[in-house]
Amino acid sequence: MTNNDIIRRLRYFFNFSDEKMVEIFTLAEFTVDKNKIKNWLRKDEDPELVEINDKELATFLNGLIIEKRGKREGPMPIAEDPLTNNMILRKLKIALDFKTDDILDLFAAIDKKLSKHELSAFFRNPEHKSYRPCMDQYLRNFLHALQTKYKPV
């Protein structure tokens, strides 16, 4: 999955306006204008598409956490670069205040099987022997499940 695809999906199912997107970036102490956001959100085949990099997407996700959960004490979290699917999944879990069972229920709602052990392996430290990288298919299924929850057809 591309970073642009991820931010497009998040904007769609949370129904964020351009102004709201700017506000979320601002919460993470990052300045962006509506024009840049529009260029990130363009379709893949559009020649004016601008790719959003890992640091920018991580900043957006940090802003989403602040938007949904409130600002925490201490310094602003540093936007990761490079950003992995595991980090994206973790940030969305934090932003939406999901517990393990909530995520498993989301996967079950779209008829995708995922065990508690598989899911916990995605959230482990990469140095841990049971760590497992979150492949695109899992992140895509998770985003699809979120879409069915937040923007049902």
Using the predicted structure, report yes or no on whether residue 39 has a pLDDT greater than 80: yes
Closest CA relative to residue 88, chosen from 6, 18, 31: 6
- Say what percent of the chain tops pLDDT 90: 90
Predicted TM-score (pTM) of this structure: 0.94
As a whole number, mean pLDDT of residues 93-103 equals 97
Place of tokens 């601008």: 50
Q: Cα–Cα distance between 149 and 31 in angstroms, integer?
A: 30
Q: How confident is the model at residue 134 (pLDDT cuts 50, 70, 90)?
A: very high
Mean residue pLDDT across the chain: 95
Using the predicted structure, report yes or no on whether residue 153 has a pLDDT greater than 90: no
